[in-house]
Chain A
Amino acid sequence: MNGQPLTRARWLRIMACYTAALVIVASIAPWFGATPLSWRDVWAAWREGGGNSAWWIFAHQRVPRVLLGIAVGMALGMAGAAFQVLLRNPLATPYTLGVASAGALAAALTLVVPGLATGLGPLRATQLSALAGSAVAALGIFALARRLRGGSTNILLLSGVAFNLFCGSALLLVRFIADPQHLVAVDRWLMGGLVTIGYWDVLGMLPVVATGALLVLLRTHALNQLSFGEEVAGARGVSVRAVVAGTFFGGVLLTAGAVAVAGPIGFIGLIMPHAVRLLSGPDQRIVIPASALLGGAVLTLCDLGARTWVAPTEIPVGIVTACLGAPIFLLLLVRRCR
């Protein structure tokens, strides 16, 4: 955070630090959990071509779960950073615009009304309907904002927030009329979790999230310009409408992909960009990718806690992130206001 214009060397150095943090967390996390694993057992099983239970737990439960945590954490961290700069609002999260609520509403409907939707390929019915719900919502909000004021981010924020509130109420209605036996499933889904076996969940979300990440990453420097307002950005050669649209749909894909597999896990998207700005300054070329890397590391750590603190059972990771995230956020706020 030395205040000079960003150079390629410094960018690489900072990215290497965040990547190293993620790699360290990712290589520690699979070894802890309800069942203790020793690397000797896993190593021996791997040399013999699989077989023992230690290997099975490692390869089919722990590693996929850690990979899912990384992917979801990265998606939420990046989406949060993108929406905070796009909406010019430090309180924006991946869920501010109601895209996730629409996904949650669709997923809840699928859980409450059996047979409403079916899975397709690697995607389960809830995942597919959550993605569809998010997509419909995103297109609707964007079309409305564009009609009203050519896609201005203010209108995007206002219509998104209104839509978010509507989806929240609609979700209450669904829960109210639902058969009580389905409510448990809905509640568990809404708490957010990374329970997964095998690699289909990770692989299913990967194309969605990777497309979103690409859309956002290509625009990080244009978003620096946009942080000085649409007029200034436009005058400097930024295609404002294209950047707003690309970042919006990139953020939407990141959010929708993460929420579809893991439910609405909170606070990662809000706090990671703030933490990165405090650590490494406000340049979006750093903030956006670093929020992703830090988000992956932090969510994996939170999930490690969720799996081990009350073992052999576990807490939904969304509760852990909220319980840790809220005090940390207040701490950051106090530090900044001092």
Chain B
Amino acid sequence: MPDAVLELRDVLYAYPRSAWQLGPLALDVRGACMTGLIGPNGSGKSTLLALCARQLHARGSVRVFGRPAAAYAPREWARCVAYLPQSVAAQFDFTVEETIAFGRYPHTAVMGFLGPRDRAVIARCMEQTELTALRARRLSELSGGERQRVHLAAVLAQEPRLLLLDEPATALDIHHQIALYHILRECIAAGITVLLATHDLSLAAHFCDELVLLAHGAVVQQGKPADVITEELIQHVYGAHVRVATLPGSPAPVIVPA
């Protein structure tokens, strides 16, 4: 069993002037695995991801690859950990290829000019996300889902060892949702660890190695998809009446309305 690459201990985060808080919680994310963060709206998925990504400073200890997260220098951190927020608002109308190339920032010098290796990585990421044909298009000329893929490709171009993705599949059609999970499985095969937040429980159950169910800022259950996606837990946490079934040929639970 691979060691935990992300370890949270006694982590506590409260927003200013708000009674809501995340934690105190402990969490281990295993290396070279896909871990899905699930839970109702407001359960703390995005907050948890943001503080794993050093965007928020929580109390307690966050260790990444055995070192305290705060001990990394900014560029060194960005070469290890990449984070894709729920929405990215681009101020200027860059092209697809330019936007993806910006993901190389932590690997390049102060002016950010690309070397041959950088260009190869960018070409590979465009290929992986099926964006090669769109490389010269401007962001304003893309659909929401295409733009989401561009930002994902930029994160992949960062070549991280740990990927933190906040609802990366939300704006995607079913073909590209599945394609996204296949890309992430390729990343896992290459030794990258993925932690993602999602609302699509069936897809998460199918593709993730482990699920973490959050409610009211606390971890309710962590484990294999079949252990987390149960009728009782979903009813208890989401307040939704569902039936959990399995399809022939796959151990992953599937959720249908009761």
Contact = CB atoms under 8 A, between A and B. Distances in A.
User: Chain B: interface residue count, which band?
Assistant: 35 or more
Interface stretch (B59-67, B106-114, B200-208, B217-225): B106-114
A221 B112 contact: yes
B91 A85 contact: yes
B105 A238 contact: yes
Interface in A227-267: 227-229, 231-232, 234-239
Interface in B42-57: 50, 53-55
A3 interface: yes
Interface string B88-104: 11111111011001110
Given A225-B105, A239-B74, A282 B112 contact: no
Contact of B122 (A5, A8, A218, A237): A5
Helix, strand, loop or mixed for chain A's interface? loop
Nearest to B16: A149
A228 B89 contact: yes
B82 A235 contact: yes
B13 interface: no
A326 to B, nearest CB: 24
B85 A229 contact: yes
Contacts of B135: 3
B77 interface: yes
A5 B83 contact: no
A7 B114 contact: yes
Contacts of A277: 92
Greatest chain B CB density within 10 A among A4, A8, A232, A285 is at A232
B97 A4 contact: yes
A276 to B, nearest CB: 12
Interface of B: 50, 53-55, 74-79, 81-85, 88-95, 97-98, 101-103, 105-106, 108, 110-114, 119, 122, 135-136, 138, 151, 158
8 contacts: A3-B97, A5-B114, A8-B113, A85-B91, A221-B108, A228-B88, A235-B84, A239-B74
